[in-house]
A = this chain, B = another copy of it.
Amino acid sequence: MSTAMDYTRGEQWLIGESRFCREQLGKAESVFSLGNGYMGLRSATEEGYLGERRGLFVAGCFNCASENEVTELPNGPDVLGAELTLNGCRFALDTGKILSYDRTLNLRTGELRRSVTWEAPEGEQYQLEFTRFVSRARLPLIGQKITLRPISGEVDVVLRSGLNGQMTNSGAQHFLELQKRSYDRKYLQYTSKTNQSGIDFVATQTHLFQVNGEARHIPGVMAMGRRKIFGDYALHLNGGDTLVVEKLSTIHTSRDKALEACTTQEIQEYGLAAIREVEALGYDALFAESKALWEKEWAESEIQVTSENPFDQLAIRFAQYHLSIMTPSHDDRMSVGAKGLSGEGYKGHTFWDCDQFVLPYFTFTQPEKAKSLCSYRYNTLPGARKKAEEGGFRGAQFPWESAWVSDGEVTPALGDADLITGLPQVIWTGKIEQHITADVVYGIWQYVQATGDMAFLREKGYPVILETARFWCSRLEEGPDGRLHLNDVIGPDEYKEHVSDNAYTNYMAWWNMTLAKKCLETLGGEGELQAKLADCIARIYLPQPDETGLMAQDATYLTLRDIDLTKYKNQDYVLGIYKDYNAHQLNSIQVSKQADILILFYLLENLFDEKTKAVNYRYYEARTLHDSSLSLSTHCILASDLDEREQAYGFFRKASEIDLGPNMRSSDEGIHSASIGGIWQSLIFGLAGVRLTDGVLRIRPRLPKAISRIAFPLWWQGERLKVMVEGNTITIHNTNRGTTHVYTDCYQSR
C-alpha cells in the first residue's frame, strides 16, 4: 500500500493528494496542516472519518488535564466540522462514488483546497470544493469556503455546522464548558476554560451564504448538544446552481497578550466584534490579506534548488512552510514543539529539537524569530533553576521537556509497554538526559555570533550562559582517577540509558563552561565561579580517540555486544527493534537510535581532525538505526564534511521523506519539527556547506551529482546575503551593501 501523495504539480509549490485515502488520514492532516504560529490546525475534513485525528492547538495554552497527566497543549474546539445532507443523504466519500478527487496544499499561499465530484448512492452527482486558510494577517482567524454545485438536478441541502467542544487529547479532556450561545440566529459562540491553568477559550463563528453569486440570508435553526452548538441551514438548489458557504471562525484566549487582563465576558464581546468585522470583509478579501503576507515571506526567504529530482525543491519549501507555521514568534513566552502545532504528539513540549534543529534556520534567515525563541529560554530560567535545585544542583538546568515558562520540567514519567515485564517503561529522559542544558546555550551563542546582537547577549545571554555553567560545575562528579565525570546520563542516543561520560554530553558541558569562563573574563566579578570553572574545565574527563581514531560514545559502549542489525536497518518503519528487545536489553548492545557522538564532530568541528571524524562516522553509522527523526540531518552534514557527497545526498533525501515519504503512519501525531529543521540543515549546512564555527562563517559547498545549484538567503551580522552555490563556485550578494563577490571552493568570513 502506498500513499496517495502527489508531488508532481505546480512547479514544486503544491503538495497534492490524488485520491481519497483513508489509510493516510492522519498523515495528511499533519502534512497538510495550516497555521500561523498562533495556532495550528490539522487538516481534518469537514465531514469527518473514523480514525481521523481532528485537532486545533493554540500556542502557549498549556494545561494539565488531571493529576496523572503532565501539562500539554489542549485540543481546542473544532470549528471545521460541517455535515452536508443532500436530498437526505449525508455527503461522505466512503459512500457513493468518487468521480474526481484532488486535495492540494499551496505552500506559497497557505491555502488548502479539496475538489470532489461525487455521486451519491442514489445517483445524483455533485461538484464540491472546500478551501480554507489560517490567516497570517489576523492570527485568531480561520476561513473556510464550501462550494456546492448539483450537476444532475435540484437538491434539498441541509448544512449542519458549528462549534464542537467534545474534542479531547486522546481521551483527556482539558476544558470546562462555560457557555454556548447564538446571537441573532447568525453568530455562534462557544466558551470554555482549561480546567487547571484557567485559560479562557472563546470560539466565535458565522456563516455567509451565496447562491449564484448573490448573498442570501439563511437563518439557522440553532441547536445545542453537550459541549457543542451548531446551526441547521436548509435551502433548495436547482441543477446548475452554485452555493457558496463561507464559514469564518475566530479563537481568542486569555493567553493572548492583548486579552490577558480581560474578563471572560469581555473576551466574548471581543470575539463577537471580531467576527462581525471579518464578516464584513468575506473570505476572498481575508484570504488575500493573508496571502500577501505569505508572498512577502517567500520573497524574503525563498530557496531555489536546481536538482535532477524536482522533489528536492518541494522538500525545502515544505520545510520552510512548516517552520513558518510552527513558530509562535508573536510571543516570546512560547517556543516550538517537537510536533510544532500540528498534532498531539509530544504534547506541544519543546525539546532540544528546537535549539539544535529548528533555531538555526531562524538564526540565519529570520533573526527576529530566532531572538524570540532564544528569549523563551531566558524566560524559562526560573523553571530551570527550580529543576537544578530539585536535583540538588546549583545554577540552571533546562528541562528535557519544556512547556509554559514557569512550568519547569514536564517530561512524563511513563511510556509504552515494556515487552518483557508488561508494565509501562519508565521515561528517564526528564531525569538524566542533561545535554539539553548545553544545547540551549549553543543555540543562543550561535544566534549572538550570527547576528552580533550584543544587547540580547548582555540582557538575556549572559544569565543563561553563567547559570548553566554553574549547573555543570555542581553536576560534575570526581572519580577515583581524580578527573570529573558525568555519571548516569543519557546522551543523544536514547538507546543507551544510565551511561557515564557520554562524549557528547561531556564535551558540550566543557564547551558551556569554557564559554562562561570567557564571558566572565569580559564581564569580571563572580570570582568564586571563575575559580570553579577553571578547575572544572581543567579536570573534566574528555574522551579521546584511540590509536585507530575511534572514540567511545560513552564509558561502556565499545565493550557491549555487537549483533547483526540488518533486519532493523532494512525496516521501513522505526523502533522495530523494540519488538525484540526491551530498553534494558538494548542497553547491552552496540546499537544506537540516532546520531550521538557524530553531532559533536559537527557542532565542535575544530576540536577533531578529519581522520577521527571519518573513522567514527563509519563505525557509528553502521550501528545506528535512525529511529529518531533527529538522526539523518546530522549524518548528512557529517557525510558532506567528509566529502561523501552521494551518501550525504541520500541522507538529505531520507530526511525529506520522514514526513513526506511513503510511511503512512509516521506523521499521525504531527510533523517532526526537528526533522523539518533538519531538511534545511541538510541542504544548507550539509550540501551547501555553510557553517559557523568560533565566530567564523564558512561556505564550502559539497553538491552531489543531482544538484547543480542552490540559491538561498543568509542573514549575517545584520546584513542579508543572497548566496548561490553552483558546483564549487560561491556567489554572495550582499543586499544591504549592494555588493557581489564570487569565491571558489570555500568562503570564510575572516
By a beta-carbon cutoff of 8 Å, the part of chain A in contact with chain B is 1, 22-23, 48-50, 65-69, 88-90, 92, 94-95, 165-173, 176-185, 195, 221-227, 229, 415-417, 419, 422-424, 579
Chain B residue, CB-CB nearest to A195: B66
In the bound complex, what is the Cα–Cα distance between A195 and B170 (angstroms)? 17
Q: Is the CB of B171 within 8 A of A165?
A: yes
Chain B residue, CB-CB nearest to A173: B173
In the bound complex, what is the Cα–Cα distance between A423 and B22 (angstroms)? 38
By a CB distance below 8 angstroms, the chain B residues around A225 are 170, 416
By a CB distance below 8 angstroms, the chain B residues around A94 are 94-95
Q: Is the CB of A67 within 8 A of B176?
A: yes
By a CB distance below 8 angstroms, the chain B residues around A423 are 181
Q: Is the CB of B171 within 8 A of A166?
A: yes
In the bound complex, what is the Cα–Cα distance between A178 and B226 (angstroms)? 27
By a CB distance below 8 angstroms, the chain B residues around A223 are 416-417
Q: Is the CB of A68 within 8 A of B417?
A: no
Q: Is the CB of A222 within 8 A of B419?
A: yes
Q: Is the CB of B171 within 8 A of A88?
A: no
Contact of A168 among B50, B166, B180 (CB under 8 A): B166
7 interchain pairs (CB within 8 A)?
A66-B195, A169-B226, A170-B225, A171-B226, A171-B227, A223-B417, A224-B416
How near does chain B come to A290, taking the closest CB pair, in angstroms? 30
Given contacts A66-B176, A422-B185, A579-B221, contact A170 B227 (CB under 8 A): yes
Chain B residue, CB-CB nearest to A344: B226
Chain B residue, CB-CB nearest to A89: B1
By a CB distance below 8 angstroms, the chain B residues around A48 are 50
Contact of A417 among B69, B184, B222, B417 (CB under 8 A): B222
In the bound complex, what is the Cα–Cα distance between A175 and B479 (angstroms)? 48
Given contacts A49-B50, A229-B417, contact A424 B176 (CB under 8 A): no
> Lowest 7 CB-CB distances: which A-B pairs, in order?
A166-B171, A182-B422, A173-B173, A170-B226, A224-B417, A94-B94, A50-B50
Q: Is the CB of B171 within 8 A of A422?
A: no
How near does chain B come to A84, taking the closest CB pair, in angstroms? 14
By a CB distance below 8 angstroms, the chain B residues around A222 are 417, 419, 422
Contact of A180 among B177, B227, B424 (CB under 8 A): B424
Interface centre among A166, A222, A224 (most CB of B within 10 A): A224
In the bound complex, what is the Cα–Cα distance between A222 and B195 (angstroms)? 33
In the bound complex, what is the Cα–Cα distance between A89 and B1 (angstroms)? 9
Q: Is the CB of A65 within 8 A of B417?
A: no
In the bound complex, what is the Cα–Cα distance between A50 and B184 (angstroms)? 32
Supplied contacts A23-B90, A166-B171, A179-B424, 17 more A-B pairs, CB within 8 Å? A65-B173, A67-B176, A68-B176, A68-B178, A94-B94, A94-B95, A165-B171, A166-B170, A167-B171, A171-B227, A180-B424, A181-B417, A222-B417, A222-B422, A223-B416, A223-B417, A224-B416
By a CB distance below 8 angstroms, the chain B residues around A165 are 171
How near does chain B come to A264, taking the closest CB pair, in angstroms? 13
In the bound complex, what is the Cα–Cα distance between A69 and B94 (angstroms)? 36
